[in-house]
Structure 1
């Protein structure tokens, strides 16, 4: 507000004090608006605190909203020097007898010695492929699912070190290193398969620029065909055979290509470390009671922390109202608290054993806080372990072994729904018009291009005459894998090549685009597009995409996904869907924190109030400025008048005094 100085100096009156008092008397409305604005700003800050608390709560709850957090198991080996194990939660609790007789190994082959890493080897190409060598029949079966590579060696990389670097840069499924044994010609190239197992044996075919691709000179020194002989194509030596892991589980023989085994015992991963002594080692799979108790306690603690924040923001202090919570009586905060507590008092439908938290030892205390009775929870875990997870996460249980729960939405309601299939999903295929030409000539009929599920792939086949259509199919498979496709190649009943898409449904299709080898390999190929699964959930037509059926909009099953993994058409049993407490709390919290949720709405409303109150403040300040100016103008005139009268009075007094002195 504008300030005028010197008011009252003429009259000697306390005019400045009078103006201030009169203006302050007019400030009542401004004081009220300022107080409202301060209170509103405090509420905005309080809602920020509440939002932060809800975000922290959601972080914990969302991680507990999946069944896996409550399906915890331990897998303990009685000799961890032989193997270790982990369990996913779906394993059968009990003891298993494990005997490891052989570890899986990666294939290693080594070249003859060279004088140094700079020794020139030769030029040409190296083709690295993988397969399994049978020493009894002296045959090598190509592993079409493993990607190899063709590597060009020229004057830029024809040294021992250059070849090593070229192999490592080619991402060929092997690693190359140089080992020096200390002798005069001790530098040796060692090639190691990146994967273990008998089917990951390495084969190196050479096209040597010197014209002889199998002798022991030039680039062909690096040739390794396990079916050949030294100096005639088997010119590197094997330093470690490719072997599978061999073990017995409860007396049953198991053969695996890796020392990490995920499918010998359902729900258990074995990590083999050493061959045993012949005596079986015990593996104990048990419920991880402590881990589950820890997660349930985290659930309880997360709610209590949020509840404490809400209580602090809404509390009433009977002795000193100024110490009451900023959001005392606020409908938004009250709504959040009510929503949360209403979920805890619900009964979870669709579960077989437990339907309330109190049944597993979680309940409210007199002070309104949640508490966990860990003894009661552990008892529940011992009797009905598999049902605990349904109290917390969203889950679905099917009665048909070839149907599976695939997910849900916030619209999906708990319940049991019938599943009917009228059409099974299929994969897109392409079948050649007849038996393929088994002789592949470089630059003549070695290239083919495909479109698989909408993506283009180009392959180049290795030249040569293939022993069978299956052998040619294996080569096509290898090259497609190398190109990045998961499509499967085989031979149909008529002897033609057949490609099957890795996906299901109407987007699953394969077409032959061209290439110089398209005609020789596939002739007049026939393509068949896949179809989506079709059927109903809860008696209402569902949407089929690939192998998944999705519950219809508006039905109780809306958003429920059921995967149809095979089987037949017709009735496929039921799926029972339940939405646990953590899942529901996560959904509520997500809605509260959304851009159009309660918190955003309340904060926007409060910010609008701040804008309105600010405008009122400005208007009232302008009015007070005008009032003060008016008062100052009035009192300034009074000051001038009084000063003038005082001057006149002084003059008259002087004149009267002179008259008296002269009389």
Structure 2
């Protein structure tokens, strides 16, 4: 704490503060430059994330599978569902489901539990004899669970389910039905539930697990399983069932799942059929049209955003606020001021304008290297910066490259020449002039993303890794040096005024002594 003017009566604290305010002007200017750099960096990054999204979409649009979409319809969706893919052949097919794939499963007979899940195993016939301890192996020793004379049905269910990731078997107990339900987590003939009971010494128990589960001889009233119950020493096993289908009337095939692919068509079998289900595969015109429309819409949204940033007016009368100015303003006033101060950060930016120019050319240029009688420009399929439909005209130079689609013309081109439409987007040639539109745009967007990243970095990147960050570091160093000098200057001012106070204090003392002597 400093107390000023005790001897001189001068408030030199205020004088020094005002003197330092004048000295702070260069620091404030550097901080304003730093703030402008940070705003510019943030605006670059925001645009770069949108360009990156467009780049990723361009990657998808340069894949031939996008333009070869097929749709499949089933004459009996309740029994067999079908979806097409780019590799599906257009035409008529038939499929008959003889069997559905099933996971290995079975349920026990009634266990005779008197108190539901809390009934002990020993009370329903699981006599462990003198051993008092036994294990039940579920698909191998690695998933064995221990049982004792005090183990309840709920204990057994919990123990088995804890080992389900190893055994691939889960079980539930329904007290109302008084039955246990076992299910494999896998499907098909390779799925299996194998249970064996062993004594404490590891030898097969003399008891038959099928009897203990009220499955005498492997069959009993109300017992159901996915397949035949095969007795083993001290236990039994049950296997799942493969799906069995007949394709096109003469090809029989089995699958481990009810979802499978034949001839590029994806099938989902839901029910067994008594006859053939007809499958019709045709080109999915709507899907291709929607994807191209979405691509054009994303492009239009991107160039709108970039054009907005590059054409935004710079408000030169609004500088970033200093700390002192912020203290005198309300939060709402600060917000309104900074909206104007940070406008036009990317105004007339050459990097962005050059990138947009390349994007526009990619959409308008001819795709080289194609046969003479083939489609070569997007305008031939109804995509251009000017769209004329009857007496209606859309698009002008004022739209700055925005594209319009004649959907009828596009749909007609995809219907009649799907391969040619695909080539316009996907052709990948050694010469850049021979690349398709999506290929060119992917390459150009990739280059632009890298250029912006080199200039403004990404969220979390070090300042030393990009140009704006390096400028920001340089300004920080200059600000730090100036602030050190200001501290030294302020201390020097205080020392000078303190020295003055000491001299005045001495003079006052001498004056008082002289007055007393006189």
What residue in structure 2 maps to residue 331 of structure 1? 350
State the Cα RMSD in Å.
5.4
The 1:227–1:309 alpha-carbon spacing in structure 2 relative to 1, beyond 3 Å, is closer
Question: Partners of 1:577 and 1:127 in 2: how far apart?
Answer: 61
What residue in structure 2 maps to residue 308 of structure 1? 304
The 1:374–1:588 alpha-carbon spacing in structure 2 relative to 1, beyond 3 Å, is farther
Is 1:151–2:144 an aligned residue pair? yes
Shift of 1:312: 2.5
Residues 394 and 583, structure 1, Cα contact 8 Å, conserved in 2: no
Aligned residue runs from structure 1 range 57-456, under 5 A: 57-66=51-60, 67=63, 68-116=65-113, 117=117, 118-120=120-122, 121=126, 122=128, 123-129=133-139, 150-155=143-148, 158-171=151-164, 172-180=167-175, 182=177, 187-208=178-199, 211-212=205-206, 214=208, 242-263=240-261, 265-278=262-275, 280-315=276-311, 325-344=344-363, 356-365=377-386, 366=397, 367=399, 368-386=401-419, 388=421, 391-392=424-425, 414-415=429-430
Shift of 1:335: 3.6
What residue in structure 2 maps to residue 591 of structure 1? 450
Residues 204 and 234, structure 2, Cα contact 8 Å, conserved in 1: no
- TM-score normalised to structure 1 length: 0.49
Which whole-Å deviations, capped at 9, do the CAs of 1:523-546 have from their partners, x for residues lacking one?
A: xxxxxxxxxxxxxxxxxxxxxxxx
Shift of 1:34: 8.0
What residue in structure 2 maps to residue 56 of structure 1? 50
User: Secondary structure, in 3 states, of the residue corresponding to 2:447?
Assistant: helix
The 1:316–1:108 alpha-carbon spacing in structure 2 relative to 1, beyond 3 Å, is closer
Residues 128 and 202, structure 1, Cα contact 8 Å, conserved in 2: yes
Shift of 1:613: 8.7
Shift of 1:55: 0.7
Q: Which runs of 5+ in 2 are unaligned?
A: 1-17, 220-226, 319-339, 387-396, 459-464, 491-518
Which whole-Å deviations, capped at 9, do the CAs of 1:247-300 have from their partners, x for residues lacking one?
A: 33321343333453323x23222111122342x333232333333322222322
Question: Partners of 2:56 and 2:287 in 1: how far apart?
Answer: 17
Question: Partners of 2:149 and 2:283 in 1: how far apart?
Answer: 60
Residues 427 and 439, structure 2, Cα contact 8 Å, conserved in 1: yes
Residues 137 and 197, structure 2, Cα contact 8 Å, conserved in 1: yes
Shift of 1:597: 6.7
The 1:204–1:222 alpha-carbon spacing in structure 2 relative to 1, beyond 3 Å, is farther
Aligned residue runs from structure 1 range 565-644, under 5 A: 580-595=439-454, 601=466, 603-604=468-469, 607=472
Q: Which runs of 5+ in 1 are unaligned?
A: 1-19, 21-25, 130-146, 396-413, 417-555, 557-575, 626-663
Residues 363 and 372, structure 1, Cα contact 8 Å, conserved in 2: yes
User: Secondary structure, in 3 states, of the residue corresponding to 1:91?
Assistant: coil
Question: How many pairs were matched up?
Answer: 410
Residues 592 and 598, structure 1, Cα contact 8 Å, conserved in 2: no
Which whole-Å deviations, capped at 9, do the CAs of 1:444-473 have from their partners, x for residues lacking one?
A: xxxxxxxxxxxxxxxxxxxxxxxxxxxxxx
Shift of 1:302: 2.4
The 1:583–1:90 alpha-carbon spacing in structure 2 relative to 1, beyond 3 Å, is farther
Which whole-Å deviations, capped at 9, do the CAs of 1:104-137 have from their partners, x for residues lacking one?
A: 22333233432323323345344445xxxxxxxx
Question: Partners of 1:386 and 1:260 in 2: how far apart?
Answer: 33
Question: Partners of 2:421 and 2:439 in 1: how far apart?
Answer: 10
User: Secondary structure, in 3 states, of the residue corresponding to 1:580?
Assistant: helix
Shift of 1:53: 2.4
- TM-score normalised to structure 2 length: 0.60
What residue in structure 2 maps to residue 543 of structure 1? none
Which whole-Å deviations, capped at 9, do the CAs of 1:400-422 have from their partners, x for residues lacking one?
A: xxxxxxxxxxxxxx439xxxxxx
Residues 98 and 282, structure 1, Cα contact 8 Å, conserved in 2: yes
Residues 124 and 219, structure 1, Cα contact 8 Å, conserved in 2: no
Question: Partners of 1:150 and 1:316 in 2: how far apart?
Answer: 68
Question: Partners of 1:620 and 1:211 in 2: how far apart?
Answer: 91
The 1:617–1:580 alpha-carbon spacing in structure 2 relative to 1, beyond 3 Å, is same
Which whole-Å deviations, capped at 9, do the CAs of 1:135-180 have from their partners, x for residues lacking one?
A: xxxxxxxxxxxx9954143328844333333322222122222244
The 1:328–1:222 alpha-carbon spacing in structure 2 relative to 1, beyond 3 Å, is farther
The 1:76–1:150 alpha-carbon spacing in structure 2 relative to 1, beyond 3 Å, is same
User: Secondary structure, in 3 states, of the residue corresponding to 1:270?
Assistant: strand
The 1:253–1:64 alpha-carbon spacing in structure 2 relative to 1, beyond 3 Å, is same
Shift of 1:62: 0.6
Shift of 1:364: 3.3
Question: Partners of 1:204 and 1:347 in 2: how far apart?
Answer: 69
The 1:36–1:193 alpha-carbon spacing in structure 2 relative to 1, beyond 3 Å, is closer
The 1:151–1:34 alpha-carbon spacing in structure 2 relative to 1, beyond 3 Å, is closer
The 1:347–1:173 alpha-carbon spacing in structure 2 relative to 1, beyond 3 Å, is farther
Choose between structure 1 and 2: higher helix proportion.
2
The 1:224–1:195 alpha-carbon spacing in structure 2 relative to 1, beyond 3 Å, is farther
Question: Partners of 1:214 and 1:260 in 2: how far apart?
Answer: 34
Structure of greater relative contact order (alpha carbons < 8 Å, 6+ residues apart): 2
User: Secondary structure, in 3 states, of the residue corresponding to 1:282?
Assistant: strand
Residues 223 and 235, structure 1, Cα contact 8 Å, conserved in 2: no
Question: Partners of 2:370 and 2:259 in 1: how far apart?
Answer: 33
Deviates more, 1:601-610 or 1:281-290: 601-610
